[in-house]
Structure 1
């Protein structure tokens, strides 16, 4: 009888050994899967910004540059139809500071690209 119980115990031993999860490999699998999914999100976002229309600067208004002059105030240069507008933005207010034609240097850089 003792021999039968010992034999049954030995037969169950391999199933216990395989039932124990290996936490290191499963953690590595989860982390690699997460990195792959996050990398896919970044790739899709990059593709959308780069290649889909309306996501870039193909519109009628193009922001050339901007700088902060205070905590809530900014000076922004905007290009509209070949004209550069210098705008003061702050406090729920947008004010035209100056208007000038697009500089020749900017036109040459745009044509060279």
Structure 2
């Protein structure tokens, strides 16, 4: 009756030094078969990891924005106005766009030249702390004041 080797029942892969030791062990009880299986398993694992890394590189390469059009668009800031809605300030060349972004839709709310952006907001939008919500609040107050004065 043939007893299975206890090492063959281990579900965990052995380190490389253990595989080498098993390969050098005398050919009693099927140890060279175990060493061959370990080498084959580690080789397969290396191939799978290489395929995963290649796939991640390819996905990142294909998802990256390309061309000068993608480089010309810059998000200056955003403010949440609801649980899933945002107002976003985007620079597109010399134009600034105020966009309303909701699930499934993007709406242009306002368009202006970069020079029309108040100096403080221009400085904050280019600095590390972007205070777009403050600028948006000031712009809305100014617009309401202009409507009241006109009407």
- State the TM-score, normalizing by the size of structure 2: 0.41
User: Aligned equivalents of 2:109 and 2:96: distance in 1?
Assistant: 11
Q: Structure 1 pair 34/66, CA: closer, same or farther in 2 (3 Å)? A: farther
- Deviation at 1:27? 2.4
Moved more, 76-85 or 39-48: 39-48
Query: Distance in 2 between the 1:28 and 1:71 partners?
Result: 48
Q: How far does residue 83 in structure 1 lie from its aligned partner after superposition? A: 1.3
State the Cα RMSD in Å: 3.7
Please name the residue that 1:41 is paired with. 55
Where do 5+ consecutive residues of structure 1 fail to align? 1-13, 107-113
Identify, as 1 or 2, the structure richer in helix. 2
Q: For the residues of structure 2 that align with 1:94 and 1:47, how far apart are their CA atoms?
A: 29
The alpha carbon displacement at 1:34 in A equals 0.9
Partner deviation per Cα, 1:61-111 (whole Å, 9 max, x = no partner): 6141454613220122222231111212226451414634164885xxxxx
Q: Tell me what 1:62 maps to.
A: 73
Tell me which residue corresponds to 1:8. none
Q: How many residues align?
A: 88
Alpha-carbon spacing, 1:59–1:25, altered in 2? closer, same or farther (3 Å): same
Task: Name the CA shift for 1:66/1:80 in 2 (closer, same or farther; >3 Å).
Answer: same
Alignment check: 8 A CA contact 2:99 2:109 kept: yes
More strand by share: 1
Look up the match of 2:87.
Answer: 75
Match of 1:84 in 2: 96
TM-score after normalising by structure 1:
0.51
CA distance in structure 2 between the partners assigned to 1:62 and 1:28 by the alignment: 46
Q: Which residue of 1 aligns with 2:107?
A: 94
Residue 36 of structure 1 deviates from its aligned partner by 0.7
